[in-house]
Each structure stands twice: as C-alpha cells, then as structure tokens.
Chain A
Amino acid sequence: MRILLVDDDQLIRFVHQMFIERAGHEVVGVAEEETQAVRMALELKPDVVIMDIRLEDGTNGISAMQTIQETLNIPAIYISGNSDNKTMDEAGKTNMKAFLVKPVTQDEIAKAIV
C-alpha cells in the first residue's frame, strides 16, 4: 500500500514510518500540518492516509481528511492521543479505516492498514 503519513511529531513520524515499512508498505510522503497534508494527499494520491488529529500550528487532521475526501475518497487511519467521544464521532463521519490510540505497536498499525 502507498501511504501518506501525517504527524506533527518528527520522532513519532520516524517510528511510525519504520512500522509501516517493516509491515511491507510504502510511505510515499510525510506531512506535519493540515495544508501540507491536503496538498500532498491530492498530489500523491496515496491508498491510505495515516493521520494524527492534533497537528502543527493548531491545525486538525479530521478537517484535513474532510478536505481531502471532498476531492479524493482516500480512507484514513487516525492515530491520536485524543480518544474522547467528540473526537471519535467527528472522525467517524469521514471515510475511516481505523482509529488507533497512541501509543501504538507495529502490529496494530499493520493490522489497521490491511
């Protein structure tokens, strides 16, 4: 699978990228904030976007997915520290493959992608 990885924390991006690649998938791009994520998703057209919810500069991953999915119906795998009901409800309104709560294991990511 071709995956766009979005997270505002560089170290987490690095670790998650390793998990994804070790699970046999390709990270086609990484982004750290909403606008960049939307632009890259529309350009790179990945199969899945692994998306954090709280992003750089107060931007929001769910909002980014809504914008992306207005043009391309790319499914999201949310990986977030925010697992409150409101956040999960909003995420559920988008095309979502899975909602993982940080911290995650390689196994969890791998299972969610498939």
Chain B
Amino acid sequence: MILNIKSTFGCFFYVEEPLSLSGMQFLKSNQFIWNNQEGNYLLGERTALYFQNYKVLEKAAKLKFEGVLWFENCTVLVESDNRWICIKKDEETDLLEIESADDSISKNKKFELVSSASDLEWLFINDKGEVVCSFENTVSHPVHQLNDAIRRFGKQGLSLQEISEKLSDLEVFEGEAGGMKSYTYRGVVLEYEFHRFQLSQDEMNGEIIYFKLRNIQRPFEKFSADFYKVVLNSAAVDIAVFDLEQRYMLINEFAVKNKEVRNWLIGRTDFDYCEFKGTDDSMAKVRKEFFEQSKRERRMVEMEEKIIDADGKARYSLKRFKPIIVQDEIKYMMGFGMDVTPVIDAQEQLQKSLLEKEALLGEIHHRVKNNLTVVYSLLELQAIQEKNVDIAFAYRESQSRIKAMALVHEMLYKSNSFEAIELFSYLKNLAEHLQHLLSVDKTVELKFMGTPVELTISKAVTCGLFANEILTNSYKYAIPFVENPEIRIRLEEVNDCVEMEICDNGPGLNADFEEGKNESLGFKLMRTFTSQLKGDLEIKSENGLRYLLKFKK
C-alpha cells in the first residue's frame, strides 16, 4: 500500500510501507503517528518520516495502544487494558524515549480517558469517577490538537477503542489528494472530504492533507447473517423458500407465527400440512399448480387465495412464486404472500356502491321517461279530441319534442353507459317514430347514411330536438306536396367534428324566404339549438330542402 502526501513547499512526505498502512494521527505540528493493521505504529516528523528510536516504538507496539495523546513535551499512549505509557522526546538528540510505561498511577487501576469541554484538558478517570491524572494541551493549532486528530477519522463520541478499530480497518485504495474520496471500512463505504492545511511553523513549511467523514453507505452484501435473519423475520409479508419439489426450506415468522409449526414445516409441503391438519387439500393443489407454472415459465406468477379464518370471515391473500435462477438454472423457488383483504373489501364495497349508483341512475332515467310519457299521453289525448287540424298538429309537434327527449332517456336506460348516446341509432329511432306520429297518407322513404357517433346526453338531446324540428317541417311542408316523398339523414364524424345532414325532396323554401326574417318557431328553435351546440347551420333549397349542421363533438 502506498500513500503519498505531497507538499507544495518542497516538503515531501513519502511512505512506502510493506505493511498495510491504515491511519494517521497528529500529535502536534510536526509529529504523526501511523498505525497499521497489526497494531504496530510509526512515528513521523515534519520533513521526513523516520523510524526514530525503533526499539521504543517496537515496545509501544506490543502494548497495543487504544489511544494517543499529545501534550506539551510528551506523547501518551493509552493501552487497551487502560494503562498508559508516555513517550518523551529528547530535545538534544531529537529521539523519542519511553518515560513511563508502567507508572504507579495506572498500575492495576482501570481508568477512562475523558476530554474536557474546552478540548484542551485531558483526564484519566477511574471506575470510581476519580481523576487519576490530567494533562493540558496548550497547542492551539486546530489541525494538531489531539481531539481534532480523532475527529478527522470521522466520528465524535466514539470510544478510543472504536477509533482504534476504525483506523486499523481503514483501507485506502486511492492515492490522489483533494475533493471527495471513498474508502471501504469493513465493507462499509465511507466518503471522506479532503482538507488541506498549510503548515507554517518554525522554519518549516508544508502541507498536510486530512480527511473528514461525510457519508456512510452500507452495501447490502456486507451485512451479517443475523442481520438478514432479522430483516427476513421483520418483513410484514409472508416469505418462504422452497426446493424444486415445493418443500419448505425457509419460512419467516410473519408467515407462520408459531415457531414449532414453522420448524415442523421445514422439509414438508402444503399437502403434508393439510394432511396434518386433516383439512381439504384443494388450496395446496392450487398453490402447486401456480408453483409449477412459475417453475415452467421461469417467471413470477401470482394468485389470489381465499381463506376462511377462525371467525368465519373471508380473508384474501396475494401469493407469488418466483424462481431463483443461478447460472441459468432454477435453484430454489421463492414464495411471497400478502394479506390483501382490506383491498379486496374496498374493491367489493366500491363495486357494490357503483352498482347501487347505476341502479339509481337507471331508476331516475326510468322515472323521467315515465313523466315524459304522462305529458306525451295527455297531449295525445288532447290531439285526438281536437277537431281543428292545425291545433291538433301543434299538439303533435309538442308530442314529438317530448318524444325526442324521452328517447334519450330510454336509450340511456337500455345502454350500459349513462354518459353517452349513440346518435345515429337515436336519430333513426326518432325519425321512425315521427313517421308514425306525423304520418300522412303517403309512405315516406327514410334513408339513413353514415356512421355511429357517440355524444354526451346534453348534446344528443339538442341534436334530437334539432332533427325533430327539421323532420316536423318536412312532414308539414314537404311530404304532402310530393308524389314519392323521401327523407335522407346522413351523420358523420370528421376530425372531431360532427356533420348532420337532413334532406327532403319537397318544394324547398319559398321564394320570398329571407334568412332571419319572419321565421317560424321551428326555424327559431333550430337556430337556438345550433347556437347551443356552437355549430354552423347551412340551409339550402336543392331538389328539396337541405339542412347541414356542423358542430364540434
């Protein structure tokens, strides 16, 4: 493992260590401690990293230190059994020496290292809560304070043991400096932010880079078996793994609460379970069928299972089988189950409510039609009693208008949809009825052309009333005056635009007819309906009378 720390001022820290170099702690501006996975450590200083007083370091290494402190003139290494040693630097020789490896303060006494709020005071506290030793850190450079050195590897609030572990497991796999970097630590990806610090102390200038933990990503595959077990049993769905003969290999606690039953089922099938319980095996048969289908088709299949629970209530479970394919071969089968009773109940409720509403709507249309029937019948009664032909015809006209409306309700009642009416059939019905209602002694040939057009109720009623006026006009002013009367109705939908054309072969408009002037009620109604449909109406005398209505669907 190679780690380069480059300086911008000619200081070049270079370590090529055959052992895995795993961490670094700063003791002061010019001192570093590195420790590796074996628990050994190296001490570095400023311009060069050197194995100064290697024997001392070797000795320290055997003690497996937990933490390291620096204070004014010495380094304190805390051992894993809570003893401590002190390394002092000889100012003359510049060598490090162990001053106290087995001090009376720490002998056979357990203590903890605690930092004060100021981060400048460091205390050893024993298990009775007494301060057994304290140090003061007077170096104020933020990079080189011990606490900062600990922080730089990511965590506040970690014990020294934890930090030590972290350092020993940190694996550096990128050598570049600057920006964000990723490291793996026990399979966990740690993202670090690089920081550069300019050193300018004494006569030395240099640059130091350290890392700050930003993020932790835990890769799924790195979790322990216990973790997977907890996840499996905490999942709020039934999970099972089967062998290819549909024998249970694994069942989670959610699927089978009772541990004994769960254990009993391992190596057994649903058929064994039915036999054991003395119940009908039809459920096992259906499951088997879907299981085999999933295996055969190498894909997930799902089924809905209905179970009657102990209270006699129906419960529904959505079951899924999915093959586990390894290297193109099905190794196992997975089964999932989820209680979907609330969903099914809600669907049923919704369906019931929908049916009720449909029935109610049907009833309303029926009632409306009945009411229109009553009015129609009363007008019929008046029409047949009326001696005056013109007045009788006026009754018939009103009847035909009512019929046009009633027909819509009748068609709605008959159809599956209460939203739209098929206009072509509607017009055909209407024309045939009018032929009967307004019949003269002649046979009128009705010709229908075009295609079905679906319209909303309101537009269909308007269209019906419009057609009714034209047809009534034809029966009144055209048919009596020609030998072979004919009415042609064409309906088409062109680019979302409806074209309705009604023609007769009568004498057409009077020569003195002027559009918009002295128009009959029928014409006025036609124009109102056209405007209601936001359409255009074209009336032409061409071998009879031709009406062309165009409107947006």
In the complex, what residue of chain B is closest to A8 when comparing beta carbons? B370
Contact A12 B374 (CB under 8 A): yes
In the complex, what residue of chain B is closest to A22 when comparing beta carbons? B384
Q: Interface readout for A26-66 with B: 1 if CB under 8 Å, 0 if not?
A: 00000000000000000000000000001000000000000
Contact B384 A82 (CB under 8 A): no
Q: Interface readout for B362-382 with A: 1 if CB under 8 Å, 0 if not?
A: 000010011011101110110
Contact B374 A11 (CB under 8 A): yes
User: Number of contacting residues on A, CB 8 A?
Assistant: 21
- Does B338 belong to the interface (CB within 8 Å)? no
Contacts of B406 in A (CB 8 A): 102-103
User: Number of contacting residues on B, CB 8 A?
Assistant: 21
Contacts of B454 in A (CB 8 A): none
CA distance A51 to B406 in the complex (A): 20
CA distance A16 to B377 in the complex (A): 8
Task: Name the one of A18, A54, A83 contacting B414, with C-beta atoms under 8 angstroms.
Answer: A83
Contact B414 A15 (CB under 8 A): no
Contact B384 A81 (CB under 8 A): no
- Does B413 belong to the interface (CB within 8 Å)? yes
Contact B372 A103 (CB under 8 A): yes
Given A81-B413, A82-B413, A84-B414: A12 and B373 interface contact (C-beta under 8 Å): yes
- Does B437 belong to the interface (CB within 8 Å)? yes
Q: How far is the CB of A21 from chain B (nearest CB, A)?
A: 11
Contact A9 B414 (CB under 8 A): no
Contact B380 A106 (CB under 8 A): yes
- Does A19 belong to the interface (CB within 8 Å)? yes
CA distance A20 to B504 in the complex (A): 35
Contact A54 B366 (CB under 8 A): yes
CA distance A81 to B436 in the complex (A): 18
Contact A81 B374 (CB under 8 A): no
B397-412 interface with A by 8 A CB criterion: 399, 402-403, 406, 410
In the complex, what residue of chain B is closest to A101 when comparing beta carbons? B410
Q: How far is the CB of A20 from chain B (nearest CB, A)?
A: 12
Task: Name the one of B399, B414, B436 contacting A108, with C-beta atoms under 8 angstroms.
Answer: B436
CA distance A22 to B403 in the complex (A): 22
B345-371 interface with A by 8 A CB criterion: 366, 369-370
Contact A105 B437 (CB under 8 A): yes
Contact A103 B381 (CB under 8 A): no
Q: How far is the CB of B292 from chain A (nearest CB, A)?
A: 42
In the complex, what residue of chain A is closest to B377 when comparing beta carbons? A15
CA distance A69 to B380 in the complex (A): 32
How many A-B pairs have beta carbons closer than 8 Å: the answer is 59
CA distance A82 to B366 in the complex (A): 8
Task: Name the one of A15, A81, A82 contacting B380, with C-beta atoms under 8 angstroms.
Answer: A15
Contact A105 B380 (CB under 8 A): yes
Contact B410 A9 (CB under 8 A): no
Contact A15 B370 (CB under 8 A): no
Main secondary structure on chain B at its contact with chain A? helix
Contacts of A101 in B (CB 8 A): 410
In the complex, what residue of chain A is closest to B368 when comparing beta carbons? A81
CA distance A19 to B379 in the complex (A): 12
Q: How far is the CB of B400 from chain A (nearest CB, A)?
A: 11
Contacts of A108 in B (CB 8 A): 436
B131-171 interface with A by 8 A CB criterion: none
Contact A102 B373 (CB under 8 A): yes
CA distance A84 to B374 in the complex (A): 21
A78-112 interface with B by 8 A CB criterion: 81-84, 101-108
Contacts of B376 in A (CB 8 A): 103
In the complex, what residue of chain B is closest to A85 when comparing beta carbons? B414
Contact A81 B377 (CB under 8 A): no
In the complex, what residue of chain A is closest to B429 when comparing beta carbons? A101
Contact B413 A18 (CB under 8 A): no
CA distance A22 to B384 in the complex (A): 9
Contact A81 B373 (CB under 8 A): yes
Contact A12 B377 (CB under 8 A): yes
Contact A103 B380 (CB under 8 A): yes
CA distance A54 to B437 in the complex (A): 25
Contact B381 A81 (CB under 8 A): no
Contact B369 A81 (CB under 8 A): yes
Task: Name the one of A83, A84, A102, A104 contacting B370, with C-beta atoms under 8 angstroms.
Answer: A102
CA distance A110 to B56 in the complex (A): 128
In the complex, what residue of chain B is closest to A18 when comparing beta carbons? B381
Contacts of A106 in B (CB 8 A): 380-381, 384
Contacts of B370 in A (CB 8 A): 9, 12, 81, 102
CA distance A106 to B399 in the complex (A): 13
Contacts of A105 in B (CB 8 A): 380, 399, 436-437
CA distance A102 to B403 in the complex (A): 9
Contact A102 B369 (CB under 8 A): yes
Q: How far is the CB of A16 from chain B (nearest CB, A)?
A: 7
Contact B380 A9 (CB under 8 A): no
Contacts of A107 in B (CB 8 A): 436
B415-437 interface with A by 8 A CB criterion: 436-437
Q: How far is the CB of B358 from chain A (nearest CB, A)?
A: 14
- List 8 tightest A-B contacts by C-beta distance, closest first: A103-B376, A15-B377, A103-B373, A84-B414, A102-B373, A11-B374, A81-B369, A106-B384
List A residues at the B interface (Cβ < 8 Å).
9, 11-12, 15-16, 18-19, 22, 54, 81-84, 101-108
Additional A-B contact list (12), CB under 8 Å, known A15-B378, A103-B402: A9-B370, A11-B378, A12-B377, A19-B384, A84-B414, A102-B370, A102-B373, A103-B403, A103-B406, A105-B437, A106-B381, A108-B436
Q: List 22 A-B contacts (CB under 8 A).
A: A12-B373, A15-B374, A81-B369, A81-B370, A82-B413, A83-B410, A83-B414, A84-B413, A101-B410, A102-B369, A103-B372, A103-B376, A103-B380, A103-B399, A103-B402, A103-B403, A104-B377, A105-B380, A105-B399, A105-B436, A106-B384, A107-B436
